[in-house]
Amino acid sequence: MAPQVTLFPNQAFCIGIATHDAVIDGYTAIAFMKSWAYLCTKQAKQHPSLLPKLTPFFDRTVVKDPTGLCIKYLKNWFDFKGPIFRNSINEA
């Protein structure tokens, strides 16, 4: 993600972002813009923290894999890359 902020002296500013779909999805881009906009409001100046609905959530333990798809995917990936790749992962 590449944000760009353009300042207009004594007036306002403009925010632009460039993203790639492999890095950020539409929901995340909009959440970023809403968070930035909220932090620029008068309410945020009185309470300088994000609202719970705008706070990022990073807990990956909530994602369950009951069918073991992750292990199947990794096995296929290692088989595709071959033994040299598998050994370099094990050594790391």
Q: Where are the domains of the chain?
A: 1-58, 59-92
26 versus 45: the higher-pLDDT residue is 26
Instruction: Give the residue carrying structure tokens 């932090």.
Output: 39
Mean pLDDT of the chain: 78
How large is the average pLDDT for residues 58-82?
82
Q: How far is CA 89 from CA 31, 54, 58, 76, 81, in A?
A: 35, 36, 25, 14, 11
Per-residue pLDDT at 41 exceeds 70: yes
> Closest by alpha carbon to 15, among 39, 33, 34?
33
pLDDT for the residue numbered 4: 87
Per-residue pLDDT at 70 exceeds 80: yes
